Structure 1
Amino acid sequence: MNEIERSPRGFEDQLLRDLTAHVARRAETASAARLAGRRTRLLRGWRLAGATGLAVALTAGGLAVQTMRLGDQPPPTASASEIFHLAADAARQQPELTARPDQYVFTESLATIRDMPDSGPYRTTRSQLWQSAGGVAYTQARYRPETDPNGWGELKVLRIDDPVDPEKELDAFQPPAYHGDLPIDPDELLRYLREHPVDLHLPEGADEAAVYGDESMVYTTARAVVRGYVPPRALAALFELLARQPGAVVISGDVVDAAGRHGVAIRTPGVIGGNVDLLFDRDTHAFLGTRGSVVRNGKESLYDAVAVLRTAIVDRPGQLP
C-alpha cells in the first residue's frame, strides 16, 4: 500500500484510540448498559483505505473539542441553522437519481490530505468510488495524483475492518450507499437516525447508552449518511433537522475546498481528537464536501479536505457515467 492510500488511516486510528481510551474510562465508573436493539444499524462503521477516507467522527458522552477560529476574517453573518436551511433549499433543486440494489453509486472526489495527521506536506488525489447501492457488494475504488492525469491506479476492493480491532475483517458487506428509503419529514428522519445510528463498534465495557444516546450522535450518523447518495427531499430533510440540533457553529473566514470552490464551513459536534466540518457553496449553499482537522496540545491543524465533484448511478465497478 502506497503513502497516499495509507495516510488517512493514521488520523482515523488516532481518533479511534482517543475514543477507546475515553469509553474505557467511562466504563470504570458508569454501568455497562447494553442496548438490545443496537446491533441492527442503518450503517455499519467502516473506513475507506484510500485518499478519500473522511475524518472519523466519533461520538462519546457529549464531549467535543472546543471550536477554534480558522482565519482572521469575522464569522459569516448567517448562523449554522440559517445555512442548514439554505442548504435544504439547495438540495430540493437537485435532480433525483434512482438505483436498483444491484447497481452502484459512483462518486468522484478530490482530496487534499497530509501524509500524517498533523505534519508533513499536503497531497491532492483524485478518487473514483463505486459503492454498492443495495449494500450487496464491497466498495471498489481507484486513485491518481491530481498532477498526473494518466496516473490512475488499479481498481481495488475496499473491505471493511473493525475500528476496535483493525486486523479483524467484518463478515458483512458495506452498508447500502443509496439511501432511497430515508424519511422526507425532518421529525421522522430525526427519529429514524436516532433509532438506527452508525455502528461505532465500541469496545467491550463501553457505556453504549451514553454514547449512542448523546445528542451529537445524530451528527455522527448524518456525516456517515452523506458519504453515499441521499435523494433530494431526504437530503433537504436531513439539513432541516440539523438546523434544529444544538452544537453546530459557523467557522470564521473564507473557505476554499479541494476543488478551489469558495464556501462556508459548519463545524459539527461529537468529535474526539479533531474536528469535522461540512462545507457548503458560499453562494448556492449546495453541499460541497468535508474537511477534517486534528487538535494536538491545543493546536488545530487541517488534515484533509474532500470535495465531491460528481455523483451518478452505474451498473458495475469501473464504469464511468
Structure 2
Amino acid sequence: MTMNETERSPQGFEEQLLRDLTTHVARRAEMASAARPAGRRTRFVHGWRLAGAFGLAVALTAGGLAVQTMRLGNRPPPTASASEIFHLAADAARQQPELTARPDQYVFTESLATIREMPDSGPYQTVRNQLWQSAGGVAYTQGRYRPEADPNGWSELRVFRIDDPVDPEKELDAFQPPAYHGDLPTDPDELLRYLREHPVDLHLPEGADEEAVYGDESMAYTTARSMLRGYVPPRALAALFELLAREPGAVVISGDVVDAAGRHGVAIRMPGVIGGNEDFLFDRDTHVFLGTRGSVVRNGKESLYDAVALLRIAIVDRPGQLP
C-alpha cells in the first residue's frame, strides 16, 4: 500500500458525522414537507465520507455553490510559487494571537463547507458545523450541525467516536488524539523529525502494509496536514507551513478562488491524492489559512466534492460552550 492510497483510508469519525448529518437534515425536511400540501419531497441519501484537512463539516447552497467555489475571479493569476505562498502563510501565522489550553479544556471550531451526496453527482448540502475537540485527547469529540438555511435547525449535541475500520458498526473505545498541539517544535527541521517519530494514526484497514505506509517519506507531510484540524500555536504553525513548503509536487492553482464562506483566496493543490485533488486555500491578501476544498476526477472531468471554510477557533471549558 502506497502513501497515495492512505489518502482514502477510512476515517470513521467523519463517516459517522456525515451519516448523522444526513439523517438530521432528512428528518427536518420530512417534518417540513408534512406541513405542506402533498408534492415532491426532497430526499437525502447517505454520502461519502468528508474529505480534506478540515473534513469535519459541509456547506454551500445546493446548485450554484459549485460554480461559486470553483470559479475564477477577475484578479490576475498569482505569480508566487506554492513554496513562496507557504512561506507567506508562515509569516501570517506568526502574527496571530496565541491561545493556551489545559488538557481538560476543548478546542472549539466553527466551519462552513460544501459536500455532495456522491463525489461527482447529486445536489450539494449547506451546513454549519460546530465541534468541541478535547485539547488533551482525554475525552471524545462532541459536535452539532444545522442546515445553513435553517438558523433554528441545530442538531442535538452528541459524542463522536472512532469506528473500527474492519467493522464500521463497532465503535472503538479510544479517544481522538489531542486537538491542541502546544508541544510542537517551532523549528522546521526539528518539526520534521518530530512528525516522523509521531505519525498520525490513519486507522488503516486490516491487511494494509503499515510498515510501508508509515515508513514512506511523505508520511510526515500527511501528519502535518492533519494537525490543521485542531489548533497549532502561531510559531509552530509557521514552522508547519515552512515544512509544507518543502513538500514536492505542490502547485498553485491559477486565478482567484472563493472559499465556502465567500472569501477570496489562492489555492495550493497538494500531491498524493488518487482519483481527485485536495487544495489548501489561503487569503489572497493576508495569506491566512482559510480551509480546504476537495474535488474528484472522472473521465478527465473535475468536479467539486467538498469545500470547508474555517470561521473561528477558540478554547472553551466544556462541550456546548460558545466563545
Bin the TM-score by the shorter chain: 0.7 to 0.9
Residue in structure 1 matched with residue 113 of structure 2 by the alignment: 111
Query: How far apart, CA to CA, are the structure 2 residues paired with 1:54 and 1:91?
Result: 26
Residue from 270, 273, 285 that aligns with 1:268: 270
Query: How far apart, CA to CA, are the structure 2 residues paired with 1:272 and 1:111?
Result: 22
Query: How far apart, CA to CA, are the structure 1 residues paired with 2:283 and 2:144?
Result: 27
Does structure 2 conserve the Cα–Cα contact (< 8 Å) formed by 1:105 and 1:229? yes
Shift of 1:316: 0.4
Residue in structure 1 matched with residue 92 of structure 2 by the alignment: 90
Give the AA of the match of 1:47. E
Shift of 1:204: 4.0
Shift of 1:197: 1.3
Residue in structure 2 matched with residue 228 of structure 1 by the alignment: 230
Deviations 1:112-150 (A, max 9, x none): 211222111112211110000011111111111111112
Secondary structure, aligned partner of 2:98: coil
Does structure 2 conserve the Cα–Cα contact (< 8 Å) formed by 1:99 and 1:178? yes
Give the AA of the match of 1:187. D
Residue from 48, 55, 59 that aligns with 2:51: 55
Deviations 1:31-53 (A, max 9, x none): xxxxxxxxxxxxx9853633597
> In terms of Rg, which structure is larger?
2
- The percentage of counterpart residues that share the same residue type is 85
Where in structure 2 are the equivalents of 1:175-254 lying within 5 Å? 175-254=177-256
Shift of 1:178: 0.4
Secondary structure, aligned partner of 1:234: helix
Deviations 1:256-289 (A, max 9, x none): 1010000111111222232211110010000001
Shift of 1:196: 1.3
Gaps of at least 5 residues in structure 2 are 22-48, 54-69
Number of equivalent positions: 272
Deviations 1:135-193 (A, max 9, x none): 11111111111111121111111111134542332221111000001111100101111
Deviations 1:37-76 (A, max 9, x none): xxxxxxx98536335974158xxxxxxxxxxxx7678752
Secondary structure, aligned partner of 1:137: coil
Gaps of at least 5 residues in structure 1 are 1-14, 21-43, 58-69
Structure 1 pair 320–72 and aligned structure 2 pair: CA distance change class (3 A)? closer
Does structure 1 conserve the Cα–Cα contact (< 8 Å) formed by 2:112 and 2:308? yes
Where in structure 2 are the equivalents of 1:58-77 lying within 5 Å? 75-77=77-79
Structure 1 pair 217–71 and aligned structure 2 pair: CA distance change class (3 A)? farther
Once superposed, what is the RMSD of the aligned Cα atoms?
Answer: 2.4
Does structure 1 conserve the Cα–Cα contact (< 8 Å) formed by 2:166 and 2:206? no
Query: How far apart, CA to CA, are the structure 2 residues paired with 1:236 and 1:301?
Result: 31
Where in structure 2 are the equivalents of 1:276-295 lying within 5 Å? 276-295=278-297
Residue from 114, 119, 122 that aligns with 1:120: 122
Query: How far apart, CA to CA, are the structure 1 residues paired with 2:240 and 2:258?
Result: 24
Query: How far apart, CA to CA, are the structure 1 residues paired with 2:281 and 2:163?
Result: 28
Does structure 2 conserve the Cα–Cα contact (< 8 Å) formed by 1:291 and 1:306? yes
Residue in structure 1 matched with residue 149 of structure 2 by the alignment: 147
Deviations 1:284-312 (A, max 9, x none): 00000111112233322110100000000
Residue from 273, 278, 298 that aligns with 1:296: 298
Does structure 1 conserve the Cα–Cα contact (< 8 Å) formed by 2:270 and 2:277? yes
Structure 1 pair 206–177 and aligned structure 2 pair: CA distance change class (3 A)? same
Secondary structure, aligned partner of 1:255: strand
Where in structure 2 are the equivalents of 1:307-318 lying within 5 Å? 307-318=309-320
Deviations 1:210-234 (A, max 9, x none): 3223233223212210000000000
Query: How far apart, CA to CA, are the structure 2 residues paired with 1:316 and 1:19?
Result: 31
Secondary structure, aligned partner of 2:230: coil
Query: How far apart, CA to CA, are the structure 2 residues paired with 1:72 and 1:279?
Result: 13
Does structure 1 conserve the Cα–Cα contact (< 8 Å) formed by 2:252 and 2:267? yes
Residue in structure 2 matched with residue 137 of structure 1 by the alignment: 139
TM-score, normalised via structure 1 length:
0.78
